[in-house]
A and B are shown apart, each in its own frame.
Chain A
Amino acid sequence: MKSNQEEIARWELHQEIPSDTRVACELIRSVVSTVEELGWDQAATFAVHMAMEEAVMNSIKHGNRRDPSKFVKIDVQIFAEHFVATICDEGEGFDPDNVPDPRCDENLELCSGRGVLLIRQFMDEVVYDQQGRRVTMRKRK
């Protein structure tokens, strides 16, 4: 699902936001509304919404630890047949392959730790780099 470099995005957004969940919420609403307007079906729209919500909120809460002096960089491109988003924070990073599995019985009732799992479940491709500070997520329409 590599994007053709010649392909022009139907919609894109490149923005740095402060570590404020209210600002993030408005941005995510805008992305989801656009996905809906571009005719993505209910399931794909839900998937984009879930992944954006988890990735951006994780960056603010766990990456930047809500530090108001730190920002989250968000790049979104919506093509005819796929969605790509890159979310990058200014935190210390983490190892996404070494987080406790929230599906285990002992973790099931914990009120955190589902973000990485949900992003991977709802997106078709997920790549973490920059020591976990940046995630790139792709979804086919």
Chain B
Amino acid sequence: MGHKHYQCIRTQDVDGVTVVHFLDDKVMDPARIEQLGSELNTLTDESLPPKLIVNFSDVKFFSSAAINKLIVLEKRVKEKGGQTRLSNLRPEVRDLFGFTHLDSLFRIHDSQEDAVLDLKQK
């Protein structure tokens, strides 16, 4: 999985869990968001059932168009019997999920380590 060449994300395997990092610190460009959606779709097809952590540590801005791609990701992962976690959100990005109540759709952890532990217990 780590050999796949993506343009908008990089992935790493941590104890059998795929951790996704964004390459853009401001996820807002419309063409890049479409590419991001396509890459997340590819990612979910690569492991069954997918166990994914989306690590936001590098993300300063995340538009609602980008959030829509995450919602699609969450649905696809769930359909395949997998699970998604989000981690390392800076306070403003965390507020974004709170204001929209999307923190009830996504499980959010303060750290990647906590998210890995949570997924390994499942």
Contact = CB atoms under 8 A, between A and B. Distances in A.
A111 to B, nearest CB: 4
Give the secondary structure class of B's interface: helix
Interface of B: 26, 28-31, 60-61, 63-65, 67-68, 71-72, 75, 90-93, 95-96, 99-102, 104-105
A112 B61 contact: no
Q: Which of A22, A28, A111, A121 has the most CB of B within 10 A?
A: A111
A50 B63 CA distance: 7
A57 B65 contact: yes
A108 B101 contact: yes
Give the secondary structure class of A's interface: helix
Interface of A: 21-22, 25, 28-29, 32, 42-43, 46-47, 49-50, 53-54, 57, 102-103, 108-109, 111-112, 114-115, 117-118, 121-122
B64 A54 contact: yes
Contacts of B30: 21-22, 25
A42 to B, nearest CB: 7
